[in-house]
Every structure is written in C-alpha cells, then in structure tokens.
Chain A
Amino acid sequence: MHLLKRKGFKGGVHPPDGKELSNAKAVVTLPVPEKVKIPLSQHIGAPAEPLVKVGDTVKKGQKIGEAQGYISVPIHASISGKVTALASFPHPAGKSLPSIQIESDGLDEWSGDVKENPNYKNLLPDEIKSIIQGAGIVGMGGAAFPTHVKLSPPANKKIDTLIINGAECEPYITADHRLMLEEPDRVIEGASIIARALSVSNILIGIEDNKPDAIRAMTDAAKNPPNSPLSKGGEVGISIKVVSLKVMYPQGGEKQLIKAVSGREVPSGGLPMDIGSVVHNVATAAAVYDAVRFGRPLIERIVTISGSGVNNPGNFKVRSGTSSLKLIEAAGGLKSDIGKVISGGPMMGTAQHTLDIPVTKGMSGLLFLPQNQVESFASQACIRCGRCVAVCPMGLLPNMLGIYAELDRFDQAEKANLMDCIECGSCAYVCPSKRPLVHLIRYAKADVMARRKKAA
C-alpha cells in the first residue's frame, strides 16, 4: 500500500492551476532595458547599503550594494550604464524602498570582476559558500532568504540530504517548470555544487507529477551527475534522485516537500537542518551554477507573466530591476479591466498598488486578474464546518486562530501554535464563510513577533 501511495503530505487543496496559460511557452529573453531600478532590499534580512553615487558608471555584475551583516546579501548592477538616482521607488513588498536607478549605456558589458573559473569542480565547500554569498544569491522560490545562510548549518547539525524544490505548486507560475525543461543541466550542476558545499552526497529533487516533461528532462540530466571531490577528501559520487510528487497545494512548502520526498518532519519551531535536510529551489540551484562556474552574480531570473488579464501570457528571462511595464509589453499588453496585480501566485502572492514595480530576485511571477476575477465578499461568522482544519498542512486549527486574532487574544493564539502557520492560504481558500483567515493570522503573528522582539 505504502509503496503505491503517491508521495505527498496531509491536508492541502486543489486550486485550479492556470498553468496551461504559460507552461508551453518557451522562456523569452527580454532585451536589455534602457533603465532599471534595483531595490537594495530584495531578500530577507538587512537591506544592502549603496556603494555607488549618482553619476557613477557601472558595469553589469558590478557590486553596487554591500550586504549588511550575515543575514543579508550584496546587490549587483544588472545592466551597464550610469547611476541616475538613489531614491525610494515602489517595491513589490508594498511600499516604496531605497533603490538604485541605472540608465543603460547600451553596451551591456560585464564587470571585470566576473570571471569564469575552469577549476570550479575543485573548489572547497567554504570557497563555494563565499562565492554564493558574494553573488547575492537568495532563495528564488519566493521567500528570498539568503542562500549562503542555509549552506552554513552549525557544526552540531549534520546534514545528509539536499532537497531541490521543483514542485512549483503555486497556480499559474511556470518559471521553474520551464527552467527544468529547458536547462536541466544548469539545475543539476548547481545542485551538485550545493551538495558539495554542504558535504552531502544525497540529492532528492521533488517535482509535482503535473509536469511529466520536466520530470523526464530532470531525470535524464541527473543520469550523469558530475563526480566531484567532497571536502573530506576522496572522489565521492553524488546520488541524484528525481521524486515525482502528488499534485497538491502546498506541495512546494519547504516542510511539506521534505515530508513528501524523505518522510521526515521538521519539528515545530525548528528548521530543516534539525532533521538533516536543506532545501533549495531549482532556480536557486541554477543561479549557484552561474555564480560558481562563471562568476556571475544573481542579476536575472525567469518570471511568469500570466492571468487572464494579460493578452499573451508567457515566461520571460529578465534583468532584476526591470520595470514590470516592460514585462507587460512583452506579454502583449493588458486587457482593459485589470482589477488586481499580484507579485507571485494567487495563493501566497502580494497584491500590488501600481503597475510599475521592479523585478526582484524572489519574483517568480506577476499575475494580472481582470476585475471579474477579483474576489470580493463580506466575511461571515465561522460556521465550524471544519474544512480549514481538514486542509491545514500544518495540522492547526485555523478557525480558532482566526477567532483568537479577531478578539486580540494573541496569547491564546500563540498557545494554539499560531507561529507554526506557513500562511499557505489553504484555509481561507476553502472557507465557505469567506473568513480572511490568513490576514487574521498575520495580524496575530505581527503582535507575537513584536512582543518576542521586545523580550529579547
């Protein structure tokens, strides 16, 4: 029985995935934009501090923002040209944030710092980590957590498995799907490099089985994993296994993915490293390859432009800091009655107040919904149907968390494991009373975090 059961987790929902709009569209590389606005904060942690001033000439790949502390990453110029502004501009996070504006010189020249390393296979783990840190790489699945931090577990946490996240469970988003299909070797190479940095030889790549072509491409690419020396000496082959996963949102949630591919459960309040696992997104792996082999920092990514509000949905490789207006143009423009713009997917993405936002390292997609697809409703009292409880992938009671938050009973919410919530949105998705459960949970979480910060 167990062997026949498809790999998955408990709970979850099946939203219509909308992926048919863009999953057959090959990645189109956008021309170099005339202008970019690069936010100094595109990651979790302290924003970078600018290293350039207005009027400076910069080259592509040149570091223009310095990381502030360990949980932070540097920022690099994504085009060559001239710095024309250091100012606050709209940011996908919702407010205006300090950014560096560069106007292109049309040359698109690499900085002299960017050099290929022919001996990249012989790098030691610490050397790899420092390259990744210097390249400003963050988790590209959406969370944008600095990658080097996840590669440096404390000495007492023995990591034995690297999990590469190719689940891409968010509806509409197909950026990772296309990457795995078109450039599986980059992902496999990058995954091998990450494995080397972690000194592990076991790589599991999880992909939802609604992407059979990607599963095939990745399985083929994984057949010849690059052999590479591990830190403790000796030639050790890396074992790469592609795991087909049940289609179920949020299969790509870090904890759900680990559970599905390895059967391990991250303890409540803990991290994947507590159970010997580290998870990285497929796009992150590809970025690691570019950085370690070619010396290229993270300055571009694939973004899915989709939703029925856009004329010609597709997947675009685009420089960071590029205006979303360029992407809209590339996708054939918008239909007239746009009601909502979402950075990311419809389940966890952030609604935008303007059509002009910059592409950031963590932006997997931009979704354009016409007015008639904008959900609008009055929320009602909870009727205790229990659907939220049944679908919660974390085994929480979202109904009660919502009620506690409504009453400002944050202590009770915290005791009911509020902080375990991954904000996947499954509860609110199924709620017949249309209760804004994720909104309420975030409200309570903010209070609990503020109090914890004060106490610390």
Chain B
Amino acid sequence: MSDEKLLTLSSSPHIRDGSSVTSVMHTVVLALSPGAATGVYLFGLPALATIILAIASSVALEAWMQWVMGRKITIFDGSAILTGLLLAMNLPSSSPWWITVTGSAVAIIVGKHLYGGLGQNIFNPALVARVFLLISWPVQMTSFPAPSALLAKGVDAVSTATPLTNIKMELMSHKANIDITQLPQPSTFDLLLGVHGGSLGEVPIMALLIGGFYLLYKRIITWHIPISFIGAALAFSAIMWFVDPAKYANPVFHIMTGGLVLGAFFMATDYVTSPVTNKGMLIFGAGCGFLTIVIRLFGGYPEGVSFAILLMNLATPLIDKLVTPSRFGEAKANG
C-alpha cells in the first residue's frame, strides 16, 4: 500500500477540448494581423508606432490595475494585447502618443476593470475608448493621413477625409442640388485594398475579410453576428439608396467603408459583450447593422459602427434574458 501513488479525484468530465481563453485571444490577434500589417503598409511607421504603443500601454495598465485592485495578474492571457490591438486599429495612424495612451487607459481601466475585469464588462472596451477619444478630441480623431505615396500614385502624406465624411459634408453643404454620386470617391478596388483615408485598421477590407474568415474557419466566431450585421446594413442601405440615390450611397459602398467590416467580424463578435445564443446573436448583429446605417444616414456623425455596437452591447443582457435556446422537451409532450 505504501508505494501506491495518489490518484487524482475530480468531477466529470475528465477530458477537455484543449481550448483556452489565451488560445482564443491569440487566434483573434493572429486573425487581425493581416489587417494590422496592411495598415502599417498603407500608413507607414506612425501606424506601427500606434499599434505597439496601444498594445504596450494596454498590457502595462492591465498589470497595474490588477495590482492596484489586488487581483491576480493575468496579462499573459492575451486579452489586454487584443484590446490594445483593436484600439489601435480604430485610431488614425497619426494619433499623438497621448491619445493612444489615454485610449488604452479608458479601455482597460474604465471599460474593463471597473466593471470587474475579464468577462464582466458590458461594453466593448476598445470601442468605449474610441468613442471617448472621438468625443473628447474630435480634430485629432478625424484627421486621417492619406495612404503612403507609394500606393496613392504621387500624392503626399496629407490629411484626407474618409469617403463617409465626404458624403456627410456634401449633405450638410446646403447646396441646391445635392448629388453624392458626383463626389470624387475611391474606386471599389481601392476600397478593397484600403487605399483611402481612415483609421489604420479599418480601411484594408480585403485583409480584414481574410482574418474574419480565418476566425470562422477556426470556429472562434460563428457566422451569426457578421452575417446579420452586414446583411442588415446591406438591406437597410439598399432600401434608402432605392429611395434616393442622390442622397444615400449605394449599399456596397456602405459595407466597404468606415469600420463596418472590422466591426462586424472583430468588434461586435466580442464574446463578453454579445449574446450567447445563436438567435440572440442574429438579433444583435441585425441591430448593429441597422443602427450603423441609421447613424450614417440620419445622424450627426459620418460613421456609426462604434455607436451602433455600443448600443447593442447595452441591449445584450436584455437579449440574453428574452432569447433563450429552445429547451429540450419544452411543452412538446406528444404521447
């Protein structure tokens, strides 16, 4: 008996599928990397500096915050890296360092830890930070350098408006005959590659889609949120475009501009702040898509993805309360 080894006792199940929070976070970071890399390619070293600073400050602030609050330091679980990277993707490449660091502070401290840390926050931390920065420093947050001369054929790195801002300015110009179709806008091909003004990580649609499909393939996310988000935006903008194409841009343009693809695949799909059921996710995504277009077409801001997702984050507890899975054996007695 003396040489009998101690056996482990625990509740079933005795096997696990090998997934972990860290592997989920790292997979999302990996999926964002084509978009981030394209952003750096388009906007150069300032974009790279913004990404590095956002990640480093997020991780440092998470460690500090956990230390202050007497919690376990979990900076290697990948979630702070992801928050930092997502924040950077939502910033202009030209953001001054203090904007980036303030953003990280708002995301990590206010957006995450004041709610109780990982899993407890109501709002997507990176979007809380982005909206905070946008409202506080609108000039810095809406000055977008044009993509590098290499790609934009002989244009210097000057400030440029986003395609959506172009439209909003035209609509607000009080001209006699507003016609947004006459505006000089990037070609569909340039929109796909991301060769136009915008946040450093939202413009490279193609690269973001590659990452998004990778997340679907790895089953980190399901199709429900991205498809309902894009589908609802497509449907609602198509209706409005049909009503008046001179005032409302075509649906494909809406999908390919602003932060819609980034939002649909990477921000709205944040586990913590989106519903847990498939049906709930469909409602959530559709709400995001619809609100995005409402804000873009009828709101004061040219872009509405961040606000739309935050508003739907707010609706998530309600959706989860009302939309529950169909329970096995629920009122189906047929004997």
* Interface pair A429/B327, CB less than 8 Å apart: no
* Interface pair A255/B13, CB less than 8 Å apart: no
Candidates B8, B222, B271, B328; contact of A384 at CB < 8 Å? B271
**How far in angstroms is the closest Cβ of chain B from A150?**
15
B119 interface residue, CB < 8 Å from A? yes
Candidates B13, B74, B117; contact of A425 at CB < 8 Å? B13
A348 interface residue, CB < 8 Å from B? yes
**Residue of B with least CB distance to A276:** B335
* Interface pair A429/B328, CB less than 8 Å apart: no
**Residue of A with least CB distance to B333:** A267
* Interface pair B15/A375, CB less than 8 Å apart: yes
CA distance A432 to B79 in the complex (A): 13
Q: How many residues of A contact B (CB 8 A)?
A: 74
* Interface pair A384/B119, CB less than 8 Å apart: yes
- Mask, B77-88, CB within 8 Å of A = 1, is 100000000000
* Interface pair A438/B13, CB less than 8 Å apart: yes
* Interface pair A338/B325, CB less than 8 Å apart: no
Candidates B8, B324, B333; contact of A275 at CB < 8 Å? B333
What is the interface of chain A mostly: helix, strand, loop, or mixed?
loop
- Please provide the chain B residues from 29 to 66 with a CB less than 8 Å away from any CB of chain A in the complex: none
- Please provide the chain A residues from 381 to 416 with a CB less than 8 Å away from any CB of chain B in the complex: 381-387, 389-390, 392-397, 399
* Interface pair B328/A442, CB less than 8 Å apart: no
With A429-B13, A438-B12 in contact, is A352–B328 under 8 Å at CB? no
Candidates B13, B273, B324, B329; contact of A267 at CB < 8 Å? B329
Stretch at the interface among B20-28, B163-171, B173-181, B290-298: B20-28
- Residues in B with CB closer than 8 Å to A430 are 17, 19
* Interface pair B276/A380, CB less than 8 Å apart: no
- Residues in A with CB closer than 8 Å to B11 are 351, 436, 438-439, 442
- Residues in A with CB closer than 8 Å to B330 are 267-268, 395
**Residue of A with least CB distance to B4:** A355
**How far in angstroms is the closest Cβ of chain B from A93?**
13
* Interface pair B118/A171, CB less than 8 Å apart: no
Q: Which residues of A are at the interface with B, using a C-beta cutoff of 8 A?
A: 10, 13, 15-16, 157-158, 171, 255, 259, 264-270, 274-277, 337-342, 346-355, 367, 369, 374-377, 380-387, 389-390, 392-397, 399, 417, 420, 423, 425, 428-434, 436, 438-439, 442
The 21 sampled A-B contact pairs (Cβ below 8 Å) are A157-B335, A267-B332, A267-B333, A275-B334, A337-B5, A339-B7, A340-B10, A341-B7, A346-B12, A353-B9, A374-B8, A375-B14, A380-B21, A380-B74, A380-B118, A381-B117, A384-B272, A385-B24, A397-B324, A433-B21, A434-B20
